[in-house]
Structures are given as structure tokens and as C-alpha cells.
Amino acid sequence: MLERDQVDHEVRVVNESSWDVYAGPTTTRVSRGMAPLALSSGLAERVLTHLERVLVDGRVHTARCYLAVVEGAITVEGLIDDAADATLAKLVHRADWVLPERGFSSIRWFIAACPRALRPAEFSVRGTCAS
């Protein structure tokens, strides 16, 4: 079981390249007495699959998802590499949320994808100390 400050990790293979994908944690805020919003496993998989389209260049990539509800009005944001991504926002908006009709509730989710090293790290010995 993960602690609250840990993140989920998985290795994804995209076009024969391996990626370390770190998903989470989520940050939630709610009005007093309300239950926090929670990610569904279905949404997590759809978001990670959508993120795979940018995992082609060997760079670190990030995604941020945000959903807030204020007195029934919904705000959604989906960003990949700090740029708005309409498809990601739609995935977040269409997820199976249990949304409150009153008060405030929000969830923010961070994801980082890092290319895995293709070979072990190299090192060399430059010299030794003589006694």
C-alpha cells in the first residue's frame, strides 16, 4: 500500500522505447464535511494511454489534470507539457465522477514520464592512491 506522499510507478513501452511513468499523487480540496473526489482506474488508464502519443522523443514529459466543482458548475483543465490539451480535458470531464451539487470540490493530478536508460550507467576509475 502506498503512503500518501508516494506515487504510482509503472514501466510503459511505446514504439520499442521504455518509459518510467510516475502518476500522482492527487491533491484534493473540499468544502467542510464533503468527501474528496477520487480518480477511477478507468480514467487513469485512458489518460496514460493518451499521454503515450508524446512519448516519442526521449524527453521528460508531464501531464496535469484538474477538475473543480463550485455549486454544481464544473471547471476542467488538461495540460501536457504545460500546453492545453483538449482531448485530455475531455477525458477528465467525461470520467465517472461522483460530483457534489453544492459547495466546492476539486482534484488535481500530476503525471511524469521519463525515458529509461538504454544501457547501464558507465563509470571509470581515474587513478588509485599509493601507500
Task: Write out the chain's pLDDT in tens, 131 residues.
Answer: 445 557 888 899 998 889 999 998 889 999 999 989 988 878 989 999 999 999 988 889 999 999 999 999 999 999 999 999 999 999 999 999 999 989 999 999 999 999 987 544 454 555 555 54
Is 123 a domain residue?
A: no
Is 17 a domain residue?
A: yes
Number of domains observed in the structure of the chain = 1
d(CA 89, CA 81): 14
Contact indicator for 23, 111 with CB cutoff of 8 Å: yes
Give first-to-last CA distance, the chain, whole Å.
51
Is 131 a domain residue?
A: no
Is 129 a domain residue?
A: no
Residue owning grid cell 500522482: 24
CA distances to 23, 89, 120, 128 from 58, rounded to whole Å, are 18, 24, 16, 36
Is 72 a domain residue?
A: yes
Question: Tell me, what's the pLDDT at 126?
Answer: 56
Question: Tell me, what's the pLDDT at 2?
Answer: 45
Question: Tell me, what's the pLDDT at 57?
Answer: 87
Question: Tell me, what's the pLDDT at 16?
Answer: 86
Is 3 a domain residue?
A: no
Is 125 a domain residue?
A: no
Sheet holding 73-80, edge to edge: 8-14, 17-30, 104-115, 61-70, 73-80, 83-84
Domain that holds residue 100: 8-115
Is 70 a domain residue?
A: yes
Contact indicator for 56, 14 with CB cutoff of 8 Å: yes
**b (16+ CB within 10 A) / e for 23-55:** bbbbebebeeeeeebebeeebbebbbebbbebb
